[in-house]
Amino acid sequence: MIRTWSVRTVTEAARARIAAARLAARCGVSTVERVRLVSAFTAHLRQCLTKGGTWRVGVTATPMPGGGEFVIEVEPEGRRPQDRRRPWRMAISSAEEVDLPGGDHDADDPATLAEALFGSDEDAALLLERLDEQEALVAFHREELHQTNQGVLALHAELDAANQAQRRLFDAEQKARREAEAARGRLTFLADASAALTASLNHEAIVGLLPALLVPRYARAVDIWLFDGSETARECAPHPAAAVVAARRERPQYAADHPGGLPGVDDQPPSALDPDRPLLCIPLLTRRSPQGVLTLTAPDEGWDADDAVMLIELTRRASIALENARRFEHNRDIAETLQRALLTDLPTTPGLSLAARYLPATRGLNIGGDWYDAFFQPDGSLITVVGDVTGHGLHAAVMMSQLRTALRAYAVDGSSPGQLLTRLHEFLHRLRMDLYATAVIARFHPHDDTFTWAAAGHPPPVLRAPDGEVLTLDAKPGAMLGIPLQQRIADHTAPLPPGSTLALYTDGLVERRAQGIDPGIRRLTEALATFRADELGQDLEGSADRLLPPLLNDSEHDDDVCLLLCHVHGDEQPA
């Protein structure tokens, strides 16, 4: 469908505008689009009237699938084909099917003009309404955007607060971790230092160990003031006044030009001996009285509260270690004195040589109950004995002396080795001192090529024959002396030709924890077999010295070692 008009005047332009608007409405163009079309068309017509001349206006409505197209074109009338200026054109969507009447109402009709005017006002009102709706929608979205921005800002503030809180928690966690690592380091140091201090029973070694443990980590220098007068010349230098106060008050003292704020520590003025360095003086307390003062010179970083608590605890443990070491040394001295008094010289007899060796244990309280003895009975027989009381220390040494004295008393009536051990068993059983003993006794008869022996829970004697063959006398022994049972220990007799050597010993010579006792007895027999008969007969003392090293292949042993060699002379003569 095509409509055309010629426009020369304002009236003709108005008629064309009214006609175009009515046609657009009939073609189903929406109100908003119709207003936009008419407004643009009116503006262009005003430009055309300003230019003057006659203008041709054409309206075309074209049906199309899915919707039609409504087009208005304006061009000068009589436009030549070679004119390159294109006509003004505006196209908008319309209804798919357009049913227009063949003619149009006269625009000069007042009813038509009124209808066009009211229609234009209605379209304008509808457009304004739509604009109001759009403005309200824009205002809503503007408010929504503002609220969104406020929410984003609040979210950012919350995230920032959460980030700061997380950072504070992280810093607190790192601080707690550092404090935990430092506490673990102190506990590890305290455990290691305590193990090192309690591993020794020598008070001088403990005193020498303390500076090695504390310098330089916890002290620049260490001074140990002992009240028993055992200080070295270096340690006899003047002691700070805070150390004297610590000894008098039995409380740790901190000497510096400022308060230390250390828990359980009293503050004192700086020391005149070293005023530039803080001192920490801790008394070495025991259950009875202080035994000294440990004075620490502060390291470069000083001490904090946890360091002070740890150092006070370490000093307490060092005090216990020193007290235990001194008690041990005191008991050891008494036991050594007693043992030296009990190990008497061996007797001499024609045709028989004796050599004895006693080595105390090198670990722990190195005084035990091992002993040897040799004495004559009234009939001229020689009794030799090697015994071992369980345990170590003064108690074992005292029991050993009682058994030695009882054995000599029982032997006066000429009893055999088995009878003597039986009496010792009854004697020890009656004492009920929770100590037990083992022993082996050999009796040599004058002018006899045999000897009698008996053992109670003791390693078997070893006999070297003149031809070099070594035998283990493993006849069934009696049980350990002092156990709660009745027993009678039997005697055994073995040949003893001239040139023979009998070895009596304690388990410290042959027993090792990792191997047991049997391998040690085999080593003893093998070592004894390497000697010549004349070597044993001429120098039994030297032979005893040469026999021990291969059996004691380590410099330290946990138990006492006792060895008694008895050699019957043959053709050789003793040196």
* Long-range Cβ contact pairs of 11-14 (< 8 A, separation 24 or more): 13/45, 13/46, 13/48, 13/49, 14/107
Residue type, 157: A
Domain with CATH 3.60.40.10 in the chain: 343-568
Predicted local distance difference test score (pLDDT) of residue 234: 43
Q: Hey, what long-range contacts does 338-341 have (CB within 8 A, 24 or more apart)?
A: 338/394, 338/397, 338/398, 338/401, 339/367, 339/371, 339/397, 339/400
Q: Which of 456, 502, 506, 450 is nearest to 476 (CA)?
A: 456
What tokens appear for 175 in the block? 């601080």
Helix axes 540-551, 518-529, angle to 10 degrees: 140
The answer to whether 311 and 303 have CB atoms below 8 angstroms apart is yes
Residues of the chain with CATH 3.30.450.40: 203-332
Kindly report the number of other CB atoms within 10 A of residue 302's CB atom: 12
Per the structure block, which two tokens stand in for 13?
Answer: 């332009």
Long-range contacts of 119-128 (CB under 8 A, 24+ apart): 119/21, 119/22, 119/25, 120/21, 120/38, 123/21, 123/31, 123/34, 123/35, 123/38, 124/35, 126/31, 126/32, 126/35, 127/31, 127/32, 127/35
d(CA 447, CA 467): 21
**Exposed / middle / buried, residue 306 (Cβ in 10 Å: 0-12, 13-18, 19+):** middle
Q: Where are the alpha helices (DSSP H) in 265-393?
A: 305-342
Superfamily per CATH, domain 343-568: PPM-type phosphatase domain (3.60.40.10)
Rounded-to-integer distance, Cα 449 and Cα 381, Å:
13
**pLDDT tens digits, residue range 270-326?**
988 888 889 999 999 887 778 899 999 999 888 988 889 999 999 999 999 998 888
State the pLDDT at residue 236.
56
| Cα distances (Å, whole numbers) of residue 483 to 158, 390, 436, 488 | 83, 12, 7, 13
CATH of domain 203-332: 3.30.450.40
DSSP sequence for 30-49: -HHHHHHHHHHHHHHHHHHH
Q: 290 with 167: CB under 8 angstroms?
A: no
Which residues in the chain show pLDDT less than 70? Answer: 1, 81-82, 96-119, 229-237, 335-336, 338-340, 342, 361-368, 393-394, 432-433, 553-558, 571-575
Maximum distance among all Cα pairs of the chain, rounded to whole angstroms: 180
Q: What is the dihedral of CA 157, 161, 164, 170, to 10 degrees?
A: -130
pLDDT at 505: 94
The alpha-helical segments, DSSP class H, found in 203-353 are 203-214, 241-249, 305-342
